[in-house]
Structure 1
Amino acid sequence: MSLKPLVAEPLLDNRPESVAQLFLARVAATPDRVAYRYPVPVDEHAADGAPGAEQWRGMTWGEARERVQDIAAGLMSLGVVPEERVGISCSTRIEWILIDLGIMCAGAAVTAVYPSTNGEETAFILSDSGSRALFVEDAKQLAKVLGVLEQAPELTAVITVDGSKPEPGAEPAGVEVLSLAELEERGVAYLKEHADAVTSTVAALKREQLATLIYTSGTTGRPKGVRLVHDCWAYQAAAQSSLGLTGEDDVQYLWLPLSHVFGKTLTSGHIQQGSVIAVDGRIDKIITNLPVVQPTYMAAAPRIFEKVYNGIAGKARAEGGAKYKIFMWAAGVARAYAETAQKNEITTGSRTVPFPLQLKHAVADKLVYAKIRAAFGGRLRACVSGSAALAPDINFFFSGAGVHILEGYGLSETSAGSTVNPGESYRVGTVGRALPGTEVRIAEDGEILLRGPGVMRGYHNQPEKTAEVLEADGWFHTGDIGELDQDGFLRITDRKKDMFKTSGGKYVAPSEVEGRFKAVCPFVSNILVIGNGRNFCTALITLDEPAIMQWAGTNGQAGKDYAAVCTSAETHQLISGFVDKLNGGLQRWQTIKKFTVLPRDLDVEHGELTPSLKVKRPVVERENAELIEAMYAGAREA
């Protein structure tokens, strides 16, 4: 992996006031370079067309500016003024980025709304933010919003990305519904009368003006609106650029939800670099898109890497015989190679490995690793993983196979990136070192504190909640527990609120146990370790559907559906073996004494996962309270 050298920290002092200004500067510098690629349907009447076929289209920086400027001017024609909020409820697609930039170039602030958010919570977010206008993706999103308009009194316009209109007779009173194309047409007309409206508005933007409200997907109570100013994003752009992870010739594949801070911050860094982003938020298209897009860089949540690993292992197991033995041998070599290289760099400064291990690695590369890299498109230089911990064994596997995963760390309250692993010198098991300009320290109780330009300016309309986490001198209390090593690498040990104490007085960090289980069990999708105030630990486990169904087909359960396979005695016995393997490496009080395999996986639609695929523990525990109690019924002190 060849990465550019780090840029000196003073570069950050020269950042612009806003990403809107950065965008216009980028357009002026490279108007004809491709900025975005995105999928479009192929005309089925074309020579190579077929129903459902797609092709990827490019958009230059200059073309992007035309649309962004028209969107900004269109909002101005609706009476939107600087720092007023404009919502976006849409999946990740090229229009999300253009609308986001259009809102910022109009001087307004974006209210990010996950498209999966239900009507009641959407209404709360629109009302709490005081949003004047809202962009929605399609008829489904439009219907949801029209159903809660009375709870969002300041909303005066709804703009549909796909051109959907209300059903006849359902037109709302006092709220205009228009398509994105119609808004852009109004923008063109507005610019004929006010030619400099957008450029003068962008030039007047100041660092501390509100740019974005991102509402935390709270597991209890109402979500909190995180106030991120223009300088948060301008800082992120400069800080990402200073790492040297990407350059203008890179192609980044962006599928993460843009309503989430992780996805949003990547768009800022992309503008600074002037590279290409291939945009498609459809998760079910990731595997088929990778060979087409051929990215050099990609960010993802750990669950994606876990699913890829489970899929590779499951395929090898299904092939059986020599192929499975070769895969298992190669997986062991990959981990040994990566771990040895990392240990040697820490102790000697060089990522060298003994010659015999190099030979094994070279053979394994031809037999196994090259195929894995090809599945990622064949050009992937680095991935960034964030939003949750990635099991070290899985990371070591990919590292040894030549898919380099750089774990990073950040929160909505810090405009995402606060730390990241530094290119070739990354250390598996850590989330890297602080971005230039960000400070990290560990409080006496082990909590991670952060300070820097990326930290929020508070929670919207909630000064008392702000005071709980943000000190007067700028230090933000993350709620995460961690430790810094002598080289400044940060390791997250658990969420402060997730750590629990058993009735025997022993502390357990559930994420540590959960991560270890994901490394030993190739069938797991999610696991939740339970034991607060209990006399032993238990677990709720969900299984990866493709992996377990493939196993079921060759183990006497062919014909059963997913739920029946998950709850069968045979599957329980299979998973029990992996739990025993896990327990063999744990302290007695950490071990899983009982577990239950749930009949379906956790998902966003049922409110059990956040859009960034993190488990909402209180929700899952509440929904499965009876199953949990059954595991403890009649239990004696362990």
Structure 2
Amino acid sequence: MTETQALIENRPPSVATILVERVEATPDAEAYRYPVPSPSGSRPDAWASLSWREAADRIFAIAAGLIDLGVHPEERVALAASTRVEWILADLGVLCSGAATTTVYPSTNAEETAFILSDSESRVLIAEDAAQLAKVREHRADLPGLVHVVVIDAADAVPAEGDPEGFVLSLAELERRGTALLKDDPDAVRDRIKALRADQLATLIYTSGTTGRPKGVRLLHDSWAYMARSIQVTGLVRSDDVQYLWLPLAHVFGKVLTVSHISTGHVTAVDGRVDRIVENLAVVRPTYMAAVPRIFEKVYNGVAAKARESGGAKYKIFHWAADISREYAKASQDNFRRTGSRSVPFGLAAKHKVADALVYTKIREAFGGRLRACVSGASALAPDIGYFFSGAGVHILEGYGLTETSAASFVNPGESYRTGTVGKPLPGTEVRIADDGEVLLRGPGVMAGYHGQPEKTAEVLESDGWFHTGDIGELSPDGFLRITDRKKDLIKTSGGKYVAPAEVEGQFKAVCPFVSNILVHGADRNFCTALIALDEPTLMVWAAEHGLAGKSYAEVAAAKETEELIEGYVKRLNEGLQRWQTIKKFRLLPRDLDVEHGELTPSLKLKRPVVERQYKDLIEEMYAGAREA
């Protein structure tokens, strides 16, 4: 057995055990970095740190506080808060108490929050603030099993008339209760940790389904321990890394980053405020960061927009440099695959050096200047955008996984990454491609099932452990996986041709710097159409330069000049597509798609049925009286 195999196969039963090991190994090393906003908001945030010992003290206090509240092993404690250090401390406190965390997005409305709390039978809710507490109060009668709400920012969260005694308490109060318990019983938390079994429930994550009620995915302690160790042995993250973590922690992608961090022992800077990403990158200067494709698309569009603002010459230089970066990335990756060397032809290397001085260095500085690698997941990254960043020295390693597989099943292997693929399976994960092209997975990361829904579980999880992902993919001879589309999203036109909408959408995002979101439609139709939402900052800069200054986004999107602009990019897209894939008609939406309107998931994936229902009239308008094939 190799050292790698031994580390995975001999893994502890729980991440709680890995945490104890981490604290014993590096007690005084920096674990977490987090912002402390200035009282007036007039100055930049200061950043504070917690060592592993300091973090563990708070985690154990939270765990002991939950024990003091009467929480028993495998009972559910819900967590509704944005990405912040307290989220991580609370989640680990729940694990160390032996209970299981139910994650709730803070943006979830009151009705769905109540459903999740009820369906999971959560006894305690750790809520961010008074707004989250208010959601519970709105549906208090539907939640008889919820006995306590612990509020992180407790200034405005006070007991109300009719609240049972002790129903609302602050996180600080919970920690004080835990500290008092540990004085009387110093081993209370360690005893809970020692009693943890690998097959105990650790986390319930509710999928943000596009139709119907969300399903609770049951993930066991063993799944997270496996993820922590398997990511560690890939070498993807190193002990000297500084990770910038902003992804929603209620999402499985964010959650897996917190457990791999403990196993590896690097520094994690935590701040979920999306509007602070650019500012934070300059301060944190991360060496490692995970993101969703939309972030890279926005950076790419922003860089292109700045070049356009600077005038014709600089815009031409940007396009030249973008072409060189893609050519360089493809050549270096191809050569590495064949020979193990990233060398490229001399002429291309010379052009790349010039482009680096003119363009690429500024892009790397925008990410803080020290970025060794980014991981992209949750949805597909357009290959041309991936190649652009690769050639510019921002290495985006695509990965793949689902909530039902504890997030990470595949990831690109460091230096040998291949843009356009999601890499190879993590050690210990098996993969096979079904006859219809569906990707099937088996391994310790696969869920135990859907909470209280054995019929739904049986639809996707076979008795021998194979999980049906619902994604269509292809495996290369040496094990690299390429996801082509969701099985349910494949379009079959009335002419019998299949179209993978995500593939066409990704190509358009690489061609058009103005696009924010695009939905390709064409199922049972005789041609494909598209609904297109534009990136507002980029669009409005262009509008000011083309006689549309002072108009609203909706007015600019409806302007004839804008339609002509986007039509040019649609024509460029169509030049590279098969006839049956081409976009014959499109409509520009009056606003961007967003999470608030239910059109995107919290990880910014498109909810196709929602968007198609919302804009049904526009879709029908494009097909009205049409006969072309």
TM-score range (shorter-chain normalised) is: over 0.9
Q: Which residue identity does 1:599 align to in structure 2?
A: P
Matched, 1:617 2:605: no
Deviation per residue, 1:71-130 (Å, 9 max, x gap): 001101110010000000000000000000000000000000011111111111111100
Equivalent in 560, 563, 568 of residue 554 of structure 2: 563
Q: Which amino acid aligns with 2:27?
A: P
Aligned letter for 2:387? F
Q: Which amino acid aligns with 2:5?
A: E
The match for 1:109 among 97, 100, 110 is 100
Aligned to 1:55: 46
Alignment RMSD: 1.3
Tell me how far 1:347 sits from its aligned partner.
3.0
Secondary structure of the residue aligned to 2:489 is coil
Alignment of 1:119-138 (within 5 A): 119-138=110-129
Q: Report if aligned partners of 1:520, 1:582 keep a CA contact under 8 Å in 2.
A: yes
Which runs of 4 or more aligned residues in structure 1 lie more than 6 Å from their structure 2 counterparts after TM superposition? none
8 Å contact kept, 2:224–2:256: yes
Mapped to 2, the partners of 1:22 and 1:481 lie a distance apart of 35
- Aligned partner of 2:442 among 451, 460, 465: 451
Identity of aligned residues (%): 68
Q: Give SS of 1:31's match.
A: coil
1:32 aligns with 2:32: no
**Secondary structure of the corresponding residue to residue 8 of structure 1:** helix
Name which of 433, 437, 460 aligns with 1:442.
Answer: 433
State whether structure 2 residue 212 is matched by structure 1 residue 231.
Answer: no
Does the 8 A contact of 2:114 with 2:135 survive in 1? no
> Which of 16, 30, 33 is the equivalent residue of 1:20?
16
In the alignment, structure 1 residue 369 sits paired with structure 2 residue 365? no
Confirm or deny: 8 A CA contact 1:538 1:631 kept in the other structure: yes
Residue 25 (structure 1) shift: 1.1
SS at match of 2:488: coil
Deviations 1:532-569 (A, max 9, x none): 11111111100111111111110110111111111211
Task: Supply the distance in 2 between the matched residues of 1:612 and 1:99 (Cα, whole angstroms).
Answer: 22
8 Å Cα contact 2:281/2:367 also seen in 1: yes
Deviation at 1:352, TM superposition (A): 1.8
* Aligned equivalents of 1:24, 1:346: Cα separation in 2: 41
Give unmatched runs, 5+ long, in structure 2: none
Task: Tell me the residue number matched to 2:301.
Answer: 310
Q: Alignment partner of 1:471: what SS?
A: coil
- 2:539 match: secondary structure: helix
Partner residue of 1:220 out of 211, 216, 225: 211
CA shift for structure 1 position 494: 0.3
How many residues in Structure 1 have an aligned counterpart in Structure 2? 628
Checking the alignment, whether the CA contact within 8 Å between 1:155 and 1:175 is kept in structure 2 is no
Partner of 2:71: 80
Question: Per-residue deviation at 1:148?
Answer: 1.1
Give the conservation status (yes or no) of the 8 Å contact 2:34–2:270.
yes
Deviations 1:109-166 (A, max 9, x none): 0000011111111111111100000011111111112111222221000011001455
Paired with 1:421 and 1:203, the residues of 2 have a C-alpha distance of 35
Residue 158 (str. 1) matches residue 149 (str. 2): yes
Q: 1:292 aligns with which of 268, 283, 291?
A: 283
The residue type paired with residue 541 of structure 1 is: I
**Compared with structure 1, are the counterparts of its residues 293 and 119 closer, same or farther at alpha carbon in structure 2 (3 Å cutoff)?**
same
Is the 2:129–2:157 contact (alpha carbons within 8 Å) kept by the matching residues of 1? no
Aligned residue for 1:82, secondary structure, equals coil
TM-score normalized by structure 1?
A: 0.97
Whether the 8 Å contact between 1:27 and 1:65 is mirrored in structure 2 is yes
2:552 alignment partner AA: D
Is 1:359 aligned to residue 355 of structure 2?
no
- Post-superposition offset of 1:191: 1.4
- 1:484 matched to 2:475: yes
Distance (Å, rounded) in 2 between the aligned partners of 1:287 and 1:276: 19
- Residue segments in structure 1 that go unaligned for 5+ positions in a row: 1-5, 45-49
- The more displaced of 417-426 and 182-191 is 182-191
Superposed CA deviations along residues 470-498 of structure 1, whole A, max 9, x for unmatched, are 00110000000001000100000000000
Deviation at 1:42, TM superposition (A): 3.0
Matched position secondary structure for 1:132: strand
Which piece of structure 1 moves more, 402-411 or 16-25? 16-25
Contact 1:373/1:403, CA 8 A, preserved across alignment:
yes
The CA distance in 1 between the partners of 2:123 and 2:239, in whole Å, is 36
Q: Indicate the SS of the match to 2:447.
A: coil
Offset from partner CA, 1:321-371 (integer Å, 9 cap, x none): 221111111111101000111122233332220011111111111111111
CA distance in 2, matches of 1:96, 1:616: 27
* C-alpha distance after superposition, 1:378-406 (max 9, x if no partner): 00000000000000000000000000000
> Residue in 2 aligned with 1:409?
400
